[in-house]
């Protein structure tokens, strides 16, 4: 039984089953100024250990001596840490609350130790209100997991040898509630702080199920509810990432650089960004609220997921001193975002009601609200819904904006938004199968199509730019205040400092679709490619 914690924390060095007998409060010492050593309430230094919180709470004591402006807050304080090389660990059945940095950490630390942290289970845990004090914001540390952090790392045999990546294996996270983590006031130290409520990196064979990642915050920069990256063979099932809020970016569930990832029966709603930005001259600024984000993943499957009501509200302000106003502002609200994703299956998903407002003291500003935003290759999409995604652009008196506005059910592009090139890995090809989907939107509040800014896909239900071999089969795109379907030509920079190359949408098949009751054209084809149109119903559309 665990009945108390020493001031320097409890270190477990023998296998066994350790059970809490009561709530435990960890009161770490204050030792010296600028001390950045990690302090752990409990350290697991042995394999074959089970910690059963037995329904009790492990927390960090907060007193005036622990306020954000005092020396202790320039130090990481962790609830439970698992050391390198430890195997077969279970932490379950209780609450870990209020730690300055992370509730549970199983991140590989020692570059001289080749051993990974394998066979780790986190089960039936509430990881609440961790990472809320400013010591998470140390110089050199830009990403903090408030709830839990699990990840491999690097091993360097000798100073002369190249580092070798070590992956943790067999990670199981079930019934974990990692919510309300991250600071709830601006930080006095380093800005640009990412807060990740649940983090899994450099791991193999990962299962995350029946877990929640809600209402996490970053008051300086960006927040992710669930963040998984650089892994192999990941299953995310029955998870929720709702109501996370950052200044620059908020994502409910983010999976990046993963080979073989499946996401099923998950929800990511009402993730919000809002704030203002002052950046140096010559830089563009952007902000985004996203339900699900997939970045440079391979072999991705997404089934029966819902992303509704992401809200992006952003304003760029005039800078002072050596800085000046932002030359360009892009704000995005996406239900699902896919960036450089290869070989993806996407079916039975819903992306409704995602909305953004953007403006401020900028010479130009642009907004993009899309149910689904794709930049990738070999994507199959079936039986999905996108409705009522909206943009509202505003500008302060004395300043103007370009007025770009995208309201889209499906937006697939390889050349970048507004002609600004993303330098994609595969700049020439998309192979998109888009079948039996419903794409409807009614956000662009214009009285006629001629007022829509030329060159923008405003309010199109389906928009294909720079695609090759796309198939749109059995879709219904109706009641959009733009076009039902738009095929367009984009531009791609193949080499730096060279003129962009014009890439049309070509060799695409538009079959058996319904484009009806759209404010503008049912089908608008501004691409110079050769495409096949067959057996489509186009009626009751505008001009």
408: pLDDT strictly greater than 80: no
**Does 335 share its domain with 417?**
yes
Q: Which residue has the higher pLDDT, 492 or 204?
A: 204
Determine, yes or no, domain membership for 440. no
**Does 128 share its domain with 12?**
yes
How many angstroms separate the first and last alpha carbons of the chain? 76
58: pLDDT strictly greater than 90: yes
The predicted model gives 39-55 an average pLDDT of 96
Determine, yes or no, domain membership for 400. no
**Does 206 share its domain with 124?**
no
Q: Which residue has the higher pLDDT, 243 or 133?
A: 243
- Helices then strands, counting H and E runs in the chain, come out as 0, 46
Determine, yes or no, domain membership for 302. yes
Determine, yes or no, domain membership for 138. no
Provide CB contacts within 8 A for 175, sequence distance 6+.
123, 124, 125, 209, 210, 211
**Does 199 share its domain with 259?**
yes
Write down the pLDDT at residue 285.
54
**Does 127 share its domain with 172?**
no
pLDDT band at 447 (very low <50, low <70, confident <90, very high): very low
Domain range holding 104? 3-64+74-133
The predicted model gives 512-535 an average pLDDT of 88
**Tens digits of residue pLDDT in 454-464:** 444 456 778 78
Write down the pLDDT at residue 354.
81
Determine, yes or no, domain membership for 391. yes
Write down the pLDDT at residue 21.
96
Determine, yes or no, domain membership for 420. yes
Place of tokens 């937006």: 411
**Does 127 share its domain with 216?**
no
Determine, yes or no, domain membership for 282. no
**Does 226 share its domain with 121?**
no
The average confidence (pLDDT) of the chain is 76
DSSP for 448-485 reads SGGGSPTT--TT-SEEEES-BS-EEES-EEES-SS-SE
**Does 304 share its domain with 233?**
yes
Q: Are 292 and 339 in contact (CB under 8 A)?
A: no
Determine, yes or no, domain membership for 442. no
Q: Give the rounded percent of residues in the chain with a pLDDT score beyond 70.
A: 70
The predicted model gives 108-115 an average pLDDT of 84
Write down the pLDDT at residue 117.
93
Q: Are 460 and 421 in contact (CB under 8 A)?
A: no
Across the strands, what pairs with 502?
A: 491
The predicted model gives 251-255 an average pLDDT of 96
**Does 122 share its domain with 171?**
no
Q: Closest Cα to residue 271, out of 246, 239, 293?
A: 246
The predicted model gives 296-313 an average pLDDT of 92
Write down the pLDDT at residue 311.
87
Q: CA 311 to CA 357: how far, in whole Å?
A: 8
**Does 213 share its domain with 268?**
yes
**Does 246 share its domain with 345?**
yes
Query: What's the number of domains the chain is made of?
Result: 3
Write down the pLDDT at residue 3.
94
**Does 388 share its domain with 471?**
no
């Amino acid at each position: 039984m665990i009945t108390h914690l020493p001031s320097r924390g409890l270190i477990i060095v023998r296998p066994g089953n350790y059970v809490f007998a009561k709530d435990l409060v960890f009161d770490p010492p204050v030792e010296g100024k600028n001390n950045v050593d990690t302090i752990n309430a409990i350290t697991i230094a042995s394999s074959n250990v089970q910690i059963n919180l037995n329904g009790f709470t492990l927390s960090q004591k907060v007193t005036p001596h622990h306020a954000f402006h005092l020396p202790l807050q320039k130090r990481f304080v962790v609830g439970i840490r698992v050391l390198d090389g430890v195997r077969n660990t279970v932490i379950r059945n209780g609450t870990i609350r209020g730690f300055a940095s992370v509730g549970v950490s199983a991140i590989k630390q020692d570059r001289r130790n080749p051993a990974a942290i394998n066979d780790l289970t986190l089960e039936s845990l509430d990881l609440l209100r961790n990472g809320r004090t400013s010591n998470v914001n140390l110089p050199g540390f830009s990403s903090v997991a408030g709830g839990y952090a699990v990840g491999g790392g690097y091993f360097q045999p000798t100073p002369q040898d190249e580092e070798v990546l070590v992956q943790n294996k067999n990670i199981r996270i079930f019934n974990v509630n990692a919510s309300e983590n991250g600071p709830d006031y601006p930080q006095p130290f380093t800005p640009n702080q990412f807060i990740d409520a649940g983090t899994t990196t450099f791991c193999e064979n990962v299962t995350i199920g029946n877990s929640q990642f809600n209402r996490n915050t970053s008051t300086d920069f960006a927040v992710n509810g669930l963040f998984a990256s650089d892994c192999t063979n990941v299953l995310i099932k029955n998870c929720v990432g709702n109501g996370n809020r950052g200044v620059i970016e908020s994502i409910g569930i983010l999976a990046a650089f993963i080979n073989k990832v499946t996401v099923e029966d998950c929800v990511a709603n009402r993730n919000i960004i809002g704030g203002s930005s002052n950046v140096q001259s010559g830089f563009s600024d952007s902000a985004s609220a996203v339900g699900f984000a997939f970045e440079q993943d391979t072999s991705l499957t997404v089934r029966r997921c819902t992303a509704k009501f992401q809200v992006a509200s952003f304003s760029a302000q005039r800078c002072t001193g050596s800085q000046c106003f932002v030359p360009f502002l892009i704000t995005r609200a996406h239900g699902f975002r896919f960036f450089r994703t290869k070989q993806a299956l996407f079916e039975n998903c819903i992306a409704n009601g995602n909305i953004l407002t953007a403006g401020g003291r900028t010479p130009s500003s642009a907004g993009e609200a899309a149910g689904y935003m794709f930049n990738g290759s070999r994507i199959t999409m079936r039986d999905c819904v996108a409705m009522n995604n909206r943009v509202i652009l505003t500008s302060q008196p004395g300043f103007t904006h370009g007025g770009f506005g995208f309201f889209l059910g499906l937006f697939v592009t390889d050349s970048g938004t507004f002609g600004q090139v993303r330098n994609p890995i595969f700049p020439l090809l998309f192979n998109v199968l888009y079948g039996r989907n419903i794409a409807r939107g009614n956000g662009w509040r214009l009285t006629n199509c001629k007022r829509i800014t030329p060159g923008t896909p405003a309010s199109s239900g389906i928009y294909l730019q720079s695609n090759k071999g796309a198939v749109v089969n059995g879709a219904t795109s109706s009641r959009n205040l733009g076009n039902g379907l738009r095929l367009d030509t984009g531009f791609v920079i193949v080499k730096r400092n060279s003129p962009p190359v014009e890439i049309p949408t070509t060799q695409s098949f538009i079959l058996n679709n319904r484009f009806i009751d759209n404010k503008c054209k049912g089908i608008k084809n501004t691409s110079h490619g050769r495409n096949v149109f067959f057996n489509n119903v186009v009626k009751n559309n505008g001009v």
